[in-house]
Structure 1
């Protein structure tokens, strides 16, 4: 334990406190009010559309169609534009690091992301030309439409492609957001600004001070985007999605990656370091993106692309402490353990484990180190395999983190009753894993 504390924990502490990673974490958290609202809208639609369709009660859907349509509008204004929400938050949080005007930095980051999207999108449609018509002459003179053989190429300008401002644009938003905001803040710090008389009111002076840094920052992104497109024939955002985001999301779906993240998060918690904060860039930047992709696929009735998401941990893993409390109530004769369990059971039912972690404690408790690490490994393994084998639906809903265990899995999978069974199985496994170690604690107390 001393060796781990001396060698590994300082590294974990530096990671958890690294200012740019903190800005990244806070930016994901900053989008939560809007993202959660969109998630609730989709969850309500599952009640109004999906469940009635399973029991041939379509008349319920027809009765509440107005509500379904409103929920769809809320979804379009939240999760469908999540990359725009995120990059504004990122610009604001990076400005906080440099003590620069946050509003200007957020707007610069947002503008830079729009620049990186490009100014047009092209879709190709294959036409069946049974009449041997001259398609090129048929569409001659129509702006934005060209014909190659039987392929109809439609190019639209002046629109924001929906497929690039949702979760697909996250990685581009991270890269472009850091680049544009850091350049802007650095230039502001070097006073590359328009000098105005002191008599000018601050509300007017502040935007003018930002003009030159914003101009340089946005032109840098514009030049990169233009020449990248000219050289590669591909938009920067499409290339990042294809080369970086898709492979990384694919790697995150491996059994080893899922279990490793669970173990590392719990490992840091054991030493009193907030594991969620340390692992937030991975948890939200990778598994959080997978959750949003699943949510969009669920909304559009498309195949669910990812087996495991950030909400999967909340559904099947993070309530392991509740298994410890059950083991204490079931067997322990340790008065201290029982009192802490009584006080901690209500918070644990809403996924608040700190009273037990610091009151029992499980933090820096050598007797409980093994089950504290083993439980998330076993629970994530069982849940991943059950989902991968199709025994339970993948997690597609972003449920609030205070949702009680068992119900969490039920709601997050879009009301799959098998998620209740899986949650109870994992809770039983956690209890059985903790049980012998609770007995050991009793012997030590005696």
Structure 2
């Protein structure tokens, strides 16, 4: 066991360290964090607009008016979430280099809009919201990375306009950014012109067809999900924040899948297109006590533990565990580098992911509606909200907790017996 753990550590630690320190993944992660308040705002009003039984209470016409009235909340946030992510990534990319970060966000969104055709059917001067949401997410991410790098490159070469002393600071900084932004956006204009002569016609079509669509199909499958969940657990076992590391890579895919479900849900489709989405991970795995679903572990401690050490840990961890913050358990049990828990720590989330996937596949539980439920929302409530206000989402979370509880109980007993014997000897 020790040799196996040493091998894992030697292989994974360098990889995890590089991922953690990669400035592109860091900017990507932080860019999504910039957009998160707006995404949650839109999600709240989607939930309110689709509360159960309202149609029966107020009538069909009033219910339709009610949904139309609240519709702009999600249309102005969730439906165009790609815009906010692009701004966030560009901002954070330039901020990392100590540059004028606001211009990083500005040049990123400007470059993206230069590449975006402003035509819907035969109407010009309009931008289809589809390219500002899930369909345009990958292009937006790449555009933000490249435009921010170009802006910083031109700035570092002192291709700026220096204003004389006495000019207001805001005016001076604006003129300083003029040439780097002009050069950067000109490059993206040339790219747009080049693609207009290709079979893809636009960069959006190229990215979506060649890159985004295949990756999305791969990321929506059960095998890729199992690998992602397993890697999260392995990284955490070695003391690295597995959720942040894996989310940095897979969030663009999971959010795109989420957005597709939201569009189908708002359109009233009975069967939503995707099972695996951002909310599949956040609600039915992470949303049950944090990474590793340790809320069920805390419950197991209260049920079977006899040692004072275990029970005190349970009391310390249960409050934060309800809100999916589980550092007290991870560091207090402990889970990190503890060979006694490696089997349940790795096994339970994988089993839960498989069971949840098949329950949604056969229709026992509705698929995630695409509504973003913040990760600190307590279990049962989050399951209800994430499945479009359906009680079966809460039932699924209860089933998952039972699975984790069952897998963990024997190992909790083994550890607790050791703690109890040590306490008896000390007494």
Task: State how far apart, in whole Å, the 1-side matches of 2:267 and 2:115 are.
Answer: 26
Q: Aligned to 1:238, what secondary structure does the other structure show?
A: helix
Q: Give the stretch that moved more between structures: 243-252 or 193-202.
A: 193-202
Tell me the CA shift for residue 84 of structure 1.
1.3
Q: Tell me what 2:102 maps to.
A: 103
Is 2:118–2:128's contact at 8 Å kept on the other side of the alignment? Answer: no
* Cα root mean square deviation, aligned: 1.7
Is 1:323–1:431's contact at 8 Å kept on the other side of the alignment? Answer: yes
Answer yes or no: is 1:430 the counterpart of 2:397: no
Q: Tell me what 1:409 maps to.
A: 383
Task: State how far apart, in whole Å, the 2-side matches of 1:60 and 1:365 are.
Answer: 58
Deviation string, structure 1 residues 94-151 (Cα, Å, up to 9, x no partner): 11122111111211111111111123333xxxxxxxxxxxxxxxxxxxxxxxxxxxxx
**Pairs within 5 Å for 1:5-404:** 5-47=9-51, 51-53=53-55, 57=56, 59=58, 62-63=61-62, 67-122=66-121, 155-302=122-269, 303-318=271-286, 319=288, 320-396=293-369, 397-404=371-378
Task: State how far apart, in whole Å, the 2-side matches of 1:14 and 1:61 are.
Answer: 55
Tell me the CA shift for residue 6 of structure 1.
3.0
Q: Aligned to 1:160, what secondary structure does the other structure show?
A: coil
Task: State how far apart, in whole Å, the 2-side matches of 1:267 and 1:435 are.
Answer: 20
Q: Tell me what 2:425 maps to.
A: none
Q: Give the stretch that moved more between structures: 427-436 or 238-247.
A: 238-247
Tell me the CA shift for residue 332 of structure 1.
1.5
Q: Give the stretch that moved more between structures: 28-37 or 158-167.
A: 158-167
Tell me the CA shift for residue 409 of structure 1.
1.2
Tell me the CA shift for residue 9 of structure 1.
1.1
Is 1:39–1:75's contact at 8 Å kept on the other side of the alignment? Answer: yes
Task: State how far apart, in whole Å, the 1-side matches of 2:82 and 2:105 are.
Answer: 13
Task: State how far apart, in whole Å, the 1-side matches of 2:229 and 2:380 are.
Answer: 18
Q: Which has the larger radius of gyration?
A: 1
Task: State how far apart, in whole Å, the 2-side matches of 1:63 and 1:121 are.
Answer: 31
Task: State how far apart, in whole Å, the 1-side matches of 2:249 and 2:307 are.
Answer: 39
Tell me the CA shift for residue 30 of structure 1.
0.9
Answer yes or no: is 1:442 the counterpart of 2:421: no
Deviation string, structure 1 residues 269-320 (Cα, Å, up to 9, x no partner): 1121111211122331111221122112212224522111111123221222
Tell me the CA shift for residue 167 of structure 1.
1.7
Is 1:52–1:61's contact at 8 Å kept on the other side of the alignment? Answer: no
Q: Aligned to 2:341, what secondary structure does the other structure show?
A: helix
Q: Aligned to 2:135, what secondary structure does the other structure show?
A: helix
Is 1:324–1:430's contact at 8 Å kept on the other side of the alignment? Answer: yes
Task: State how far apart, in whole Å, the 1-side matches of 2:254 and 2:82 are.
Answer: 15
> TM-score, structure 1 length as denominator?
0.88
Q: Tell me what 1:149 maps to.
A: none
Task: State how far apart, in whole Å, the 1-side matches of 2:352 and 2:242 are.
Answer: 17
Q: Aligned to 2:210, what secondary structure does the other structure show?
A: helix
Q: Paired residues, what number?
A: 409
Structure 1 residue runs of 5 or longer lacking an equivalent are 123-154
Is 1:410–1:416's contact at 8 Å kept on the other side of the alignment? Answer: yes
Tell me the CA shift for residue 36 of structure 1.
0.4
Task: State how far apart, in whole Å, the 1-side matches of 2:147 and 2:266 are.
Answer: 33
Is 2:379–2:394's contact at 8 Å kept on the other side of the alignment? Answer: no
Is 1:183–1:217's contact at 8 Å kept on the other side of the alignment? Answer: yes
Task: State how far apart, in whole Å, the 1-side matches of 2:58 and 2:53 are.
Answer: 12
Is 1:333–1:442's contact at 8 Å kept on the other side of the alignment? Answer: yes
Deviation string, structure 1 residues 371-398 (Cα, Å, up to 9, x no partner): 1111111111100111122221111121
Q: Give the stretch that moved more between structures: 230-239 or 259-268.
A: 230-239
Cα 1:240–1:364 change in 2 (3 A) is same
Task: State how far apart, in whole Å, the 2-side matches of 1:75 and 1:408 are.
Answer: 19
Q: Give the stretch that moved more between structures: 7-16 or 430-439.
A: 7-16
Task: State how far apart, in whole Å, the 2-side matches of 1:108 and 1:100 are.
Answer: 13
> TM-score, structure 2 length as denominator?
0.92
Task: State how far apart, in whole Å, the 1-side matches of 2:143 and 2:39 are.
Answer: 21
Is 1:293–1:305's contact at 8 Å kept on the other side of the alignment? Answer: yes
Q: Which of structure 1's runs of 4+ aligned residues deviate more than 3 A?
A: 50-53, 60-67
Task: State how far apart, in whole Å, the 1-side matches of 2:179 and 2:131 are.
Answer: 28
